[in-house]
Amino acid sequence: MLKLGVPSKGRLMEKTFQWFGQRGVTLRKSGSDREYAGAVDGIDGVELVLLSAGEIPRELAAGRIQMGVTGSDLVREKLVNWEKSVREVALMGFGGADLIIAVPQAWVDVDTLDDLDAAAAAFRAVHGHRLRIATKYHRLVREFLKQAGVADYALIDSQGATEGTVKNETAEAIADITSTGETLRANGLKILSDGMIHASQATLFRTSRRDWTMQQRATFKTLEQLLGT
């Protein structure tokens, strides 16, 4: 069987079911709402595996599923050299959100990454420690800031409401996902003009076909034709 990992609940699951359904492949839960069993109609040889969106990148990389739907940001964050282990099959057009750098609105002289670099150096000179940036996306943020030449900062892990860390004085800036920016503005933050790290959306990924069986390859070819990818 060709195993397809799909988010197990919420709007992302509903939109994924709808996206496949519009292309003649019906995905559905086969048990109660509390169960994580699923079924696929419209094509033979595909098994539905319901997982959290955050689990899907690791399951793809481990080869326990051959295809999966998750945010493009999660694949890039969780998998080192992600292009070597998975491939994008289709951008699905929903679940859009931007991973950005935001700073306090009160920092009127900080609008770009160069400004942030200067502010970080000044902050360290005054306070004796690095400017703190709260985020859940350590790999993506570190790579982005390195390419931009920003130094004198420290990434602080945030597993809660990242937008509130500046107001709570546990960080000076943040790197987080936003759709509308309203929550940022409500917390007195602004996005740097060149602070876009990644424009994320729900994406259908597959693993390398090197280890697939002939049956899995044939099933994938049929699925590609149905999905128009």
Residue 33: predicted pLDDT: 60
Residue 36: predicted pLDDT: 67
Residue 160: predicted pLDDT: 83
What residue spans in the chain does CATH classification 3.40.190.10 cover?
2-95+202-227, 97-200
Q: Where are the alpha helices (DSSP H) in 29-129?
A: 56-62, 72-78, 113-127
In the three-class reduction of DSSP (H, G, I as helix; E, B as strand; rest coil), residue 168 is classed as coil
Residues 38 and 48 sit within 8 Å (Cβ to Cβ): yes
CATH topology of domain 2-95+202-227: D-Maltodextrin-Binding Protein; domain 2 (3.40.190)
Nearest Cα to 131, choosing from 146, 115, 151? Answer: 151
Look-up of token digits 């200067």: 118
Residue 76: predicted pLDDT: 97
The answer to whether the Cα torsion of 136, 115, 189, 173 is positive or negative is positive
Distance of alpha carbon 155 from alpha carbon 220, whole angstroms: 41
Residue 159: predicted pLDDT: 81
pLDDT reading at 31 higher than 90:
no
The structure tokens listed for 177 are 């996902």
pTM, entire model: 0.90
Per-residue pLDDT tens over the stretch 81-120:
999 999 999 999 999 999 999 999 999 999 999 999 999 9
CATH architecture type of domain 97-200? 3-Layer(aba) Sandwich (3.40)
Q: What's the mean per-residue pLDDT of the chain?
A: 95
